Amino acid sequence: MIKIANAPCSWGVLEFDLQGHAAVFEQVLDEMKETGYEGTELGDWGFMPTDPALLSKELRKRELELLGAFVPVFLKDNSKHKDGVEAAVRTARLMADAGYKDAFIVLADENGSVKERTLHAGRIIPNLQLSKAEWNVFAEGANLVAKEVMEKTGLRTVFHHHCAGYVETPDEIAMLMSLTDPDLLGLVLDMGHYKFGGGDPLKALQQYKNRIWHVHFKDCSPDIAEKSRKMNFDYFQSVREGVFCELGKGSVNFPAIVKELHDQKYNGWIVVEQDVLPGMGNPKACAMRNRQYIKTLEL
């Protein structure tokens, strides 16, 4: 049975070093529960309690499950792999010790850290892509993180393609999938990032059905995406302008995606993510409308 969760990024809790203040974890968890969600991801390290017993207590008293944790690693640089492994294992151990042994490490590039990729998010040009040697290093790092997490904690790892990183476009995702171990590393398909990155999420769902272990529901405004390309917005300006709009108001074909998920007999979680910057908008109201929209899809 598919269950519906949300994530702290929908409240402006992001991994980037940004100005502004996002809500504290108690408010985020309370509002998730109040708006009808059954689970959450962890958010950036330190946003929620890092003591397993306290983390479990806070989640269970709201009857929320913990599904995963986002861990960014600059995989292009092999000197960063050791620290990346340590961060991923530390995070995985926290979730496992708190009792969430089916949660995922959601591994990603250190998105937003390379100026050129950040400036061209949603409109990548060839000379900003990884070389063959860099791809090998990147994939080796991803495999290493997934292997260490599995061996030391028993948790699985999925890779999150993401705008403003080196794995954003359909071709880049295909390259990473071809270079990594399908038994070790799955894919979290994020509908909004895939769309903004130039792809059709429904086709991706069909193409990678054996690698997709986790799903993020995010929509993408075609008008803002086009405005971003015409006015050369960087990634953060695109988010500020609302490129990741409320579900059902963008160009992602969610009815077809839900049908495909049912056809594939997907029984994992769907995590709603409507990325906003800290202090932006009314996250609780958006979360409520997003949950109401998903109910129209009979989920």
Q: Give the burial string for 110-138 (b: 16+ CB within 10 Å, else e).
A: bbbebeebbebbbbbeeeebbeeeebebb
The Cβ of residue 144 has, within 10 Å, a number of other Cβ atoms equal to 19
Instruction: Say how many domains are in the chain.
Output: 1
Amino acid 12: pLDDT? 83
Name every residue whose Cβ is closer than 8 Å to that of residue 76 and which is 6 or more positions away in sequence.
Answer: 109, 130, 134, 137, 138, 166
> By residue range, what is the domain housing residue 288?
3-296
Six-digit token string for 110:
């250190």
- Regions in the chain scoring below 50 on pLDDT: 16, 18
Tell me how many helices (H) and strands (E) the chain has.
Answer: 12, 8
Q: 4-15 pLDDT, tens per residue? A: 999 999 998 865
CA atoms in the 13 A half-sphere facing the CB of 182: 9
- Per residue in 156-195, is it b (16+ CB within 10 Å) or e — as a string? bbbbbbbbbbbbbbbebbebbbeebeeebbbbbbbbbbbb
* Helical axes 25-34 vs 283-296, angle rounded to 10°: 30
DSSP state of 49: -
* d(C-alpha 22, C-alpha 214), whole Å: 25
- Residue 110 sits in a domain of what CATH number? 3.20.20.150
User: CA angle 70-73-75, nearest 5°?
Assistant: 135
In order of 59, 109, 216, the CA distances from 188 in angstroms are 23, 13, 7
Q: Helix, strand or coil for residue 11?
A: helix
- DSSP string across 245-293: --TTSSS--HHHHHHHHHHTT--SEEEE-----TT-S-HHHHHHHHHHH
Q: What is the DSSP letter of 97?
A: H
